[in-house]
Chains A and B, each alone.
Chain A
């Protein structure tokens, strides 16, 4: 199984600022994803992080608000830009490992509170 590390694990952010979340996987993975989980809600996919190219965003999410990078097979970043209180959420990195086609793993999440 893949071990996924995210940082920061928790942060309090000022309205209007931006924060970048980092995701590091301990082994090479094929797919990496970013999810959001708002308070009391289930997980919603933000985008698929593509290595060396622009991320693929789901409906309702745009690159200007959530820029994503994936420079190699084991690392990705998600930036939450120009934050507002509505962006207060848990942001989860997810990955599917090579040879583990059936299982998708999650990082521990980054809890952001925007004040």
Chain B
């Protein structure tokens, strides 16, 4: 089975930095994804980690520690448009398919 935990809500200020944490317990592991989902829209891909370390992509970075079952998404220079839900998802390496199991999502509110 899979268990993926992330905070339900976070609030941050425009221009600041925010870190969204995700912990997971899975029977297998074949990669961790972060998605952004604005209200009323489908999730959009942000990042993918399969090896330990930090992946940087513009204002967004994602970190993975497989030994700790831990990842975080780091958002810098926050903008109002970053207000959205951020979904952590793990791909289970034990299954023949490559489906994702999602955490409950973290709703981020960016305030002026």
Q: Which residues of A contact B (CB under 8 A)?
A: 30-31, 33, 41-45, 48, 56, 92, 94, 96, 101-109
Contacts and interface: CB of A to CB of B under 8 A. Distances in A.
Nearest to A43: B102
Given A42-B87, A102-B50, A104-B45, A96 B98 contact: yes
Main secondary structure of the interface of A (DSSP, over half): strand
Given A43-B87, A104-B33, A109 B45 contact: no
Contacts of A94: 100
29 contacts: A31-B99, A33-B97, A41-B104, A42-B87, A42-B102, A42-B103, A42-B104, A43-B100, A43-B102, A44-B102, A45-B99, A45-B100, A45-B101, A48-B97, A48-B99, A92-B43, A102-B31, A102-B48, A102-B50, A103-B48, A104-B33, A104-B45, A104-B91, A104-B98, A106-B42, A106-B43, A106-B44, A108-B41, A108-B42
A69 to B, nearest CB: 17
